[in-house]
């Protein structure tokens, strides 16, 4: 069978490429190592474009002739000299053909075991390596990096031996190599792995000191088409190299310069929100006018050197200029603002394919302690927009031990699936024998150790704070590291998860003071009263922190048999029981399935005692005590009552110890329960609302509670709950919540009778009319009167109109919008807006979406000239799911005011009006409303809604308002931005020519000579 021919397209590293048209013998195959490695050594080269590197794509043979002809002609006429492209044509040998392998590949077979601590399959005997897709894995730099970082494996293993609680240990190299321990298969989202450790939040923060950066973009008329697109993409990538400790502004310039975001008149914090605004503004830049470097640099220097009260990083100051080239050197601007001290670094980027002399750009960079980069094509953007970090790292390296400080990152999503983590980072320096050598100024990379947020939560006294108590922690930027409202909805998000403490809660002056004192590291205590969202996010409630300890007897008469009575086989007579899946003991296997968790718990209780050191005695004793009390409640009270007499469908109790019992039990599918209500009482809305409010709390039920508490599927119920209060030693505690489910039909009849002002022997007319008064008789006058019970969140609980029974639980504005508007307009209800900064919305349609590659795409000859169809797909894959985008949602919620008296309201509506009577019912969360039916429907009112909606204007107006009063923050205490010993070199990569010594955790691993290095040429 004839050998198969493959065409491998490979990115070039030289602009000037030669074309070899004669076959190359296998003996000389090492001259095309890139081509052979691209096909795992199965090919011998026949035609090769030399100086090849990373493989980008492979094409079928039927387009081979077109490629060959195109390259031959373009080379002959010197049309190919500017393309960042080369091609290898390889012949794959079939099985049975005798051919000496070009090179053999060896791999290490590893066995992985599930580890719940890592949420992954891991191997503890090895580390693993990840290399970005756009870096050639066979280059000498990368091979050398793999060789010397192998020594870190012993350090990682020893660290874990000393501290088994360690999670991922990671070394991120300045060359892009990531070595992590323990080994686990790498996750490649979207089948295109563009993970680059140098773009991760923890690496950026650890690799350099904070930055004040001004980006200026040339938008003169010569910058058009592909060059302008390259500039926009470059600026976006540059913004991604900034962290929350940095400050930035972006400006465009031609004859004059102005900020791309007009309201950002000074540098702003490079947080996720502001960077998103910049990126949106950059996409709308247009090219026109002529180039004037002086205008751009003047704008940038005035931004950086302006001594205003606005917050800054106050460390590295730099200007990033993107241009297509020019002759001007703007020397007088540098003499005025930057020389001789050169406190501002200037980095220049020559973008696009052009014939301009780049000497002025090189001079500008070198004369201002910066660096010059070229971005000829989109494939060069990522690497060239991040290499400036190596320059900024030099003063840090020369600072020596002073720079060896552990820095902690913001919260971010772990790339290996650990969830939300924070990372402690420390830079790693190149320690060579010659301390004056420029090689000694390199930062080799950053070490990082992850700490999962869930691990921190386990260390907090969750169950000792009560259902409505919680712990939180913030960083020096005011972002929460730990908070119950930190719930990002987008996973695998490149950016850190930044939620300000004031955005996580409803903002008020007390919380602003707490935030400032925490950032400053002050200790103390504050008592505040504030509004909080209920668990179901249907209403606000007043909340004051309260912590009351409980003491329990040492010996409790409860055995394993008592817990066995909680299993499903006894549910029919005893009622259904749920046990909160808490970590009562270290070896207890948790499960959201109640029966499975009970079996695990009973099995453990047969092996240990409640006083065992491996158990949380407080939690376990509390559970045992509550189990016994609830069992007695069933035996001595509930079983002896006829619930139908009271119009009850069921009764229930939930305790602080984690026991929930419902009586009588209805046979139902248990798995459905966990989909709707959490068996953990602390997570249940009815439980937390009852603790925070006095009296009886009425709540319309979600569907599952109907299935659980209802004996008739077609019977609608209302949940009523109240907290049990006990006074011990002068202190009031609330150890449990008890409640009932009301039969809606039976209690509506009672409601109509109780709401009527007549007696059985009263005589008189009970009718209403347009010219006569209407007696408040909700039963007799139901055709003319509307009688409602509405809860404190504005949701319908009961109505005397049978047509409204299927609307129970709906927001009242959806039942009677005119009446709800009248109640709000007359201050019976107040409202509060809250923002959710962690929401996910559907991605808006893109007018250019049709140009993106879809399905099987066969490129034309023109496509080989323009590589955008490759790189655009790759860049898109680097972000989140294309169907989702982060957004800000706004929700307006309503809550009852503190009105206590009854009020009569006359609601006017054009040519008609109606009388409304409203009164707060004591000792409940209910408002009783009686109103005449509206005789006309011509009112023009604001229709009140509680539905979440996207805040469209947020990204346009709100950020500018926020900039007027910047929130308090504190940056790092140390800064490494300058050192007179800094030396510059034409290359940032000295790793090929010098031995390296690593000093990590006091362990030194030396590579004694160049002979120890694995280098291929």
**More confident: 815 or 68:** 815
Pick from 720, 719, 717: nearest CA to 746? 717
- Which pLDDT belongs to residue 904? 84
518 and 594 housed in the same domain: no
Mean pLDDT across 740-757 = 80
Which whole-number Å values give the CA distances from 59 to 87, 875, 990, in the listed order? 11, 21, 36
Per-residue pLDDT tens digits for 244-265: 889 999 999 999 999 999 888 8
Helix (H) or strand (E) holding 897: none
Q: Hey, what are 875's tokens?
A: 């860049």
**More confident: 88 or 401:** 401
- Which pLDDT belongs to residue 458? 82
**More confident: 969 or 299:** 299
Which residues on adjacent β-strands are paired with residue 650? 741
Out of 739, 757, 777, a domain closes at: 739
Q: Phi then psi for 741, rounded to 5 degrees?
A: -110, 125
- Which pLDDT belongs to residue 437? 58
- Which pLDDT belongs to residue 832? 85
In-domain check, residue 75? yes
588 and 689 housed in the same domain: yes
In-domain check, residue 404? yes
- Which pLDDT belongs to residue 450? 92
In-domain check, residue 99? no
Name, in order, each residue with C-beta under 8 angstroms of 990's C-beta and a sequence gap of 6 or more.
430, 438, 439, 442
Angstrom distance (rounded) from CA 763 to CA 771: 21
Task: Look at 271-285, 644-658, 709-723, 906-920 and tell me which has the smallest mean pLDDT.
Answer: 709-723
DSSP-derived secondary structure letter, 463: G
- Domain of residue 219, CATH code: 3.40.50.410
Which bin fits 764, alpha (ψ -120 to 50), beta or left (φ > 0)? left
Task: Look at 5-14, 483-492, 889-898 and tell me which has the smallest mean pLDDT.
Answer: 5-14
Angstrom distance (rounded) from CA 179 to CA 157: 13
Q: Hey, what are 250's tokens?
A: 């972006």
DSSP-derived secondary structure letter, 769: B
DSSP 26-81: GGGGGGGHHHHHHTTT-EEEEEEESSEEEEEEEE-GGGHHHHHHHHHHHHHTT-ST
In-domain check, residue 423? yes
33 and 166 housed in the same domain: no
Per-residue pLDDT tens digits for 830-852: 988 877 877 777 776 654 444 33
In-domain check, residue 954? no
Q: Which residue intervals of 306-449 are DSSP H helices?
A: 331-337, 359-366, 381-384, 388-399
63 and 139 housed in the same domain: no
Angstrom distance (rounded) from CA 459 to CA 473: 13
Q: How far is CA 980 from the centre of its chain?
A: 41
Out of 684, 709, 739, a domain closes at: 739
169 and 149 housed in the same domain: yes
Q: Say if CB 205 and CB 409 are below 8 A apart.
A: yes
376 and 234 housed in the same domain: yes
- Which pLDDT belongs to residue 675? 34
- Which pLDDT belongs to residue 44? 35
Q: Give the CA angle between residues 314, 956, 237 to the nearest 5°.
A: 55
Q: Phi then psi for 739, rounded to 5 degrees?
A: -170, 175
- Is the pLDDT confidence value at 174 over 80? yes
Angstrom distance (rounded) from CA 267 to CA 250: 9
- Which pLDDT belongs to residue 983? 55
Model confidence band, residue 4 (pLDDT cutoffs 50, 70, 90): very low
In-domain check, residue 886? no
436 and 463 housed in the same domain: no
In-domain check, residue 268? yes
SS3 for 999? strand
Q: How far is CA 127 from the centre of its chain?
A: 27
| pTM for the full predicted model | 0.71
232 and 259 housed in the same domain: yes
Pick from 683, 678, 738: nearest CA to 704? 678
Task: Look at 163-167, 419-423, 946-950 and tell me which has the smallest mean pLDDT.
Answer: 946-950
Residue 467 belongs to what domain range?
456-475+491-543
- Which pLDDT belongs to residue 179? 95
User: How large is the C-alpha radius of gyration of the chain?
Assistant: 35
222 and 77 housed in the same domain: no
SS3 for 838? strand
pLDDT above 90 covers a percentage of the chain that reads: 20
- Is the pLDDT confidence value at 752 over 90? no
- Is the pLDDT confidence value at 860 over 80? no
Name, in order, each residue with C-beta under 8 angstroms of 267's C-beta and a sequence gap of 6 or more.
212, 213, 214, 247, 248, 249, 303, 304, 310, 312
Per-residue pLDDT tens digits for 354-383: 888 899 999 999 999 999 999 998 888 988
SS3 for 324? coil
- Residue identified by tokens 């140009």 is 851
In-domain check, residue 920? no
Pick from 286, 290, 285: nearest CA to 222? 290
SS3 for 791? strand
What's the total number of domains in the chain? 5
- Cis status of the peptide bond prior to 488, with omega within 30 of 0: no
Mean pLDDT, the chain, rounded, equals 73
256 and 185 housed in the same domain: no
Task: Give burial (CB, 10 Å; 0-12/13-18/19+) of 203.
Answer: buried
DSSP-derived secondary structure letter, 3: P
Q: Which residue intervals of 266-401 are DSSP H helices?
A: 272-282, 293-305, 331-337, 359-366, 381-384, 388-399
Angstrom distance (rounded) from CA 65 to CA 130: 36
Task: Look at 444-448, 779-783, 855-859 and tell me which has the smallest mean pLDDT.
Answer: 855-859
Angstrom distance (rounded) from CA 657 to CA 636: 21
Mean pLDDT across 988-1017 = 31
Q: Say if CB 311 and CB 247 are below 8 A apart.
A: yes
Which span out of 55-59, 591-595, 611-615, 929-933 was modeled with the highest average pLDDT? 929-933
Angstrom distance (rounded) from CA 523 to CA 66: 73
- Which pLDDT belongs to residue 539? 52
Per-residue pLDDT tens digits for 125-138: 999 999 988 788 88
Angstrom distance (rounded) from CA 566 to CA 185: 42
- Is the pLDDT confidence value at 228 over 90? yes
Q: Hey, what are 992's tokens?
A: 């090929």
DSSP 87-119: EEEEEEPPTT-----S----------EEETTTT
Which whole-number Å values give the CA distances from 88 to 17, 37, 38, in the listed order? 13, 11, 9
631 and 699 housed in the same domain: yes
569 and 655 housed in the same domain: yes
Mean pLDDT across 462-491 = 83
pLDDT above 70 covers a percentage of the chain that reads: 68
Which whole-number Å values give the CA distances from 833 to 792, 794, 824, 941, in the listed order? 16, 15, 15, 19
Q: Hey, what are 247's tokens?
A: 């400050």
DSSP 423-445: EEEEEEE-B-S-TTSGGGG-EEE
Angstrom distance (rounded) from CA 349 to CA 323: 6
Per-residue pLDDT tens digits for 28-69: 333 344 444 443 333 333 333 333 333 333 344 445 455 555
């Amino acid at each position: 069978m004839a050998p198969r021919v493959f065409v491998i397209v490979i990115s070039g590293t030289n602009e000037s490429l030669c074309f070899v048209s004669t076959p190359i013998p296998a003996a000389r195959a090492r001259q095309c190592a890139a081509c052979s490695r691209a096909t795992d050594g199965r090919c011998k080269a026949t035609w090769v474009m030399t100086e090849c590197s990373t493989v980008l794509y492979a094409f079928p043979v039927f387009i081979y002739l077109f490629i060959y002809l195109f390259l031959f002609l373009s080379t002959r006429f010197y049309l190919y000299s500017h393309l960042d492209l080369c091609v290898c044509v390889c012949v794959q040998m079939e099985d049975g053909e005798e051919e000496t392998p070009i090179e053999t590949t060896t791999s290490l077979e590893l066995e992985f075991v599930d580890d719940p601590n890592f949420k992954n399959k891991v191997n503890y005997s090895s580390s693993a390596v990840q290399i970005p897709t756009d870096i050639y894995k066979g280059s000498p730099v990368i091979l050398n990096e793999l060789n010397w970082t192998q020594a870190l494996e012993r350090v990682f293993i020893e660290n874990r031996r000393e501290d088994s609680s360690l999670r991922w240990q990671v070394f991120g190299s300045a060359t892009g190599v990531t070595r992590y321990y323990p080994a686990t298969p790498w996750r490649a989202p979207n089948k295109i792995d563009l993970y680059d450790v140098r773009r991760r939040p923890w690496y950026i923060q650890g690799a350099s000191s904070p930055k004040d950066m001004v980006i200026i973009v040339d938008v003169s008329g010569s910058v058009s088409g592909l060059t302008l697109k390259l500039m926009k993409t470059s600026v976006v990538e540059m913004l991604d190299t900034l962290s929350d400790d940095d400050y930035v502004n972006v400006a465009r310039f031609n004859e004059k310069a102005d900020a791309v975001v007009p309201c950002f008149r000074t540098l702003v914090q490079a947080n996720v929100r502001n960077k998103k605004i910049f990126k949106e503004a950059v996409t709308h830049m247009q090219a026109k006018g002529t180039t004037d470097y002086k205008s751009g640099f003047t704008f940038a220097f005035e931004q950086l050197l302006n001594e205003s009260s606005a917050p800054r990083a106050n460390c590295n100051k730099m200007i990033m200029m993107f241009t297509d080239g020019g002759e001007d050197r703007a020397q007088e601007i540098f003499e005025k603002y930057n020389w001789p001290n050169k406190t501002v670094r200037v980095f220049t980027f020559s973008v696009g394919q052009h014939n301009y002399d780049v000497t002025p750009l090189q001079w500008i960079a070198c004369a201002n302690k910066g660096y010059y980069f070229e971005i000829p094509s989109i494939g060069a953007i990522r690497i060239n927009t991040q290499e400036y970090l190596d320059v900024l790292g030099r003063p840090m390296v020369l600072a020596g031990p002073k720079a060896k400080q552990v820095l902690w990152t913001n919260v971010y999503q772990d790339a290996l699936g650990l969830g939300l983590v924070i990372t402690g980072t420390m830079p790693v320096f190149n320690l060579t024998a010659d301390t004056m050598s420029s090689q000694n100024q390199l930062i080799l990379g950053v070490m990082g150790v992850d700490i999962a947020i869930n691990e921190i939560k386990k260390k907090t006294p969750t169950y000792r704070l009560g259902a409505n108590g919680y712990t939180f922690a913030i960083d020096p930027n005011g972002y929460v590291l730990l908070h119950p409202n930190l719930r990002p909805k987008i996973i695998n998000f490149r950016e850190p998860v930044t939620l300000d403490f004031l955005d996580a809660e409803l903002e008020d002056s007390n919380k602003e003071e707490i935030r400032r004192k925490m950032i400053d590291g002050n200790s103390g205590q504050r008592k505040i009263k504030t509004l909080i969202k209920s668990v179901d996010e249907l209403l606000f409630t007043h909340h004051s922190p309260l912590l009351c300890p409980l003491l329990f007897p040492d010996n409790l008469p409860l055995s394993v048999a008592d817990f066995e009575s909680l299993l499903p086989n006894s549910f029919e007579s005893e009622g259904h029981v749920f046990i909160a899946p808490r970590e009562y003991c270290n070896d207890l296997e948790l499960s959201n399935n109640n029966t499975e968790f009970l079996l695990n718990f009973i099995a453990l209780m047969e092996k240990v005692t409640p006083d065992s050191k491996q158990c949380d005695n407080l939690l376990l004793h509390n559970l045992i005590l509550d189990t016994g009390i609830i069992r007695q409640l069933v035996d001595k009270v509930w079983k002896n009552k006829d619930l139908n007499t009271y119009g009850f469908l069921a009764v229930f109790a939930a305790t602080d110890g984690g026991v929930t019992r419902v009586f009588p039990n209805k046979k139902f599918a248990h798995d459905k329960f966990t989909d709707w209500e959490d068996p953990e009482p602390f997570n249940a809305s009815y439980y937390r609302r009852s603790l925070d409010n006095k009296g009886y709390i009425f709540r319309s039920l979600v569907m599952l509670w109907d299935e659980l508490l209802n004996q008739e599927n077609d019977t609608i119920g209302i949940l009523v709950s109240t907290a049990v209060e006990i006074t011990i030693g002068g202190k009031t505690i609330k150890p449990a919540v008890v409640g009932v489910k009301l039969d809606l039909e039976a209690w509506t009849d009672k409601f109509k009778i109780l709401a009527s002002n007549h007696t059985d022997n009263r005589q008189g007319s009970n009718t209403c009319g347009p010219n006569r008064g209407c007696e408040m008789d909700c039963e007799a006058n139901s055709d003319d009167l509307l009688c409602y019970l509405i809860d404190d969140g504005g949701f319908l609980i009961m109505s005397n109109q049978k047509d409204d029974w299927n609307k129970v639980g709906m927001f009242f504005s959806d039942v009677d919008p005119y009446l709800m508007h009248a109640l709000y307009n007359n201050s019976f209800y107040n409202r509060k807006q809250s923002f959710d900064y962690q929401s996910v919305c559907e991605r808006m349609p893109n007018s250019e979406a049709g140009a993106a590659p879809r399905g099987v795409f066969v490129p034309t000859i023109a496509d080989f000239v323009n590589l955008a169809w490759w790189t655009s797909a790759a860049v898109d894959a680097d972000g989140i799911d294309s169907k989702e985008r982060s957004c800000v949602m706004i929700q307006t919620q309503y809550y009852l005011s503190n009105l206590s008296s009854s009020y009569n309201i006359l609601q006017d509506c054009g040519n008609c009006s109606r009388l409304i009577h409203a009164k707060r019912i004591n000792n409940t969360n209910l408002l009783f409303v009686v109103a005449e039916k509206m005789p006309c429907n011509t009112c023009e009112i604001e229709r009140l809604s509680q539905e979440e909606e996207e805040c469209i204007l947020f990204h346009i107006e709100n950020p500018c308002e926020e900039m007027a009063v910047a929130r308090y923050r504190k940056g790092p205490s140390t800064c490494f931005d300058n050192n007179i010993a800094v030396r510059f070199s034409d290359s940032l990569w000295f790793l090929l020519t010098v031995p390296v010594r690593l000093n990590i955790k006091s362990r030194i691993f030396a590579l004694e000579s160049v002979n120890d290095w694995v280098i291929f040429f």
